[in-house]
């Protein structure tokens, strides 16, 4: 494992050192993977996305400006790549549902599920995965950055390219949506 400070690694990577960049990948892979997993919702897509993000970062490392934070820059690539992926997947899903509906196939999901007998916290977590995955892209990105990655509103705003107020508003809306969708499970966990 390369023990050099991150700034040195970034500088060497900018000069074309693949070894330095691989060391940067090792430093950030878990956090980037955590972010894209929450955005994509499954390991297979998250794996592909994480690789695409690091390749994009490597190709455009020359455009990284010294003095700014490498992880903010990398996260911005990660969020933009994830949002592009979500838009593409949404279009493909719409197309697939259209074809299935045309073929007369019922695509409704798990409508029979009931919270009865599943009041455990693990059930809530499983349902929460689904609820987070159903949030609109920008809300999901804000929620994942702030709640899962532990960033402040200011840091998340820097990555998302918006104001702190926008992040604050999106967090409020995302929580309202999640609370409304998970109300039965939340009640059970609290009781």
Partner 1 sequence: MRCETIKKWLSDDLDGALSPKRKARLDAHNRECRTCRGYRADLTCLQAGAPPVEDRSPECWAAFERRIESKLAFAEPVREASRARLFPGRRWAWAAAGFLVMVAVGIYFAVNRPGGTLGTAWVPYEDSLARLLQEAEVDPEVENLVNRELLASIAAVAPDPEEDYAFPFAADPLFWEGLSEEELEYIAVELERETGNGGPK
Task: Based on the shown chain and the rule CB under 8 A, indicate whether residue 168 belongs to the binding site for partner 1.
Answer: yes
120 vs 187: CA distance, rounded Å: 11
| Binding span for partner 1 by CB under 8 A among 58-66, 70-78, 84-92, 106-114 | 58-66
Contact positions with partner 1 (CB under 8 A) in 83-112:
none
2 part of the interface to partner 1, by CB under 8 A:
no
Residue whose structure tokens are 């074309």: 16
Which whole-number Å values give the CA distances from 141 to 19, 31, 75, 100, in the listed order?
30, 14, 11, 30
Q: Does 136 bind partner 1 (CB under 8 A)?
A: no
Side-chain half-sphere of 73: how many Cα atoms within 13 Å? 17
Does position 37 bind partner 1 by CB under 8 A? yes
Calpha distance 151→119 (Å, rounded): 30
Is the CB of 26 or the CB of 91 nearer to partner 1?
26
Which positions touch partner 1 (CB under 8 A)?
16, 18, 21-22, 25-26, 29-30, 33-34, 37-38, 43, 47, 50-51, 54-55, 58-63, 121, 124-125, 128-129, 132, 146-148, 152-153, 164, 168-169, 171-172, 175-176, 178-179, 182-183, 186, 189-190
């Amino acid at each position: 494992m390369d023990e050099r400070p991150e700034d040195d690694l970034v500088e060497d990577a900018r000069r074309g050192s693949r070894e330095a960049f691989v060391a940067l990948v090792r430093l950030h892979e878990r956090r980037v993977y955590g972010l894209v997993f929450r955005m994509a919702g499954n390991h297979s897509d998250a794996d592909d996305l994480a690789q695409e993000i690091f390749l994009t970062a490597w190709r455009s490392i020359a455009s990284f400006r010294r003095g700014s934070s490498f992880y903010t820059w990398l996260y911005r690539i990660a969020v933009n790549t994830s949002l592009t992926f979500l838009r593409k997947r949404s279009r493909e899903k719409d197309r697939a549902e259209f074809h299935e509906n045309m073929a007369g196939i019922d695509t409704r999901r798990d409508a029979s599920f009931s919270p009865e007998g599943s009041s455990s916290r693990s059930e809530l977590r499983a349902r929460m995965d689904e609820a987070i995955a159903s949030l609109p892209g920008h809300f999901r990105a804000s929620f994942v950055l702030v709640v899962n990655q532990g960033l402040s509103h200011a840091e998340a705003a820097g990555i998302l390219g918006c104001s702190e107020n926008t992040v604050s508003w999106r967090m409020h809306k995302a929580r309202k949506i999640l609370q409304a969708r998970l109300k039965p499970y939340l009640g059970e966990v609290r009781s």
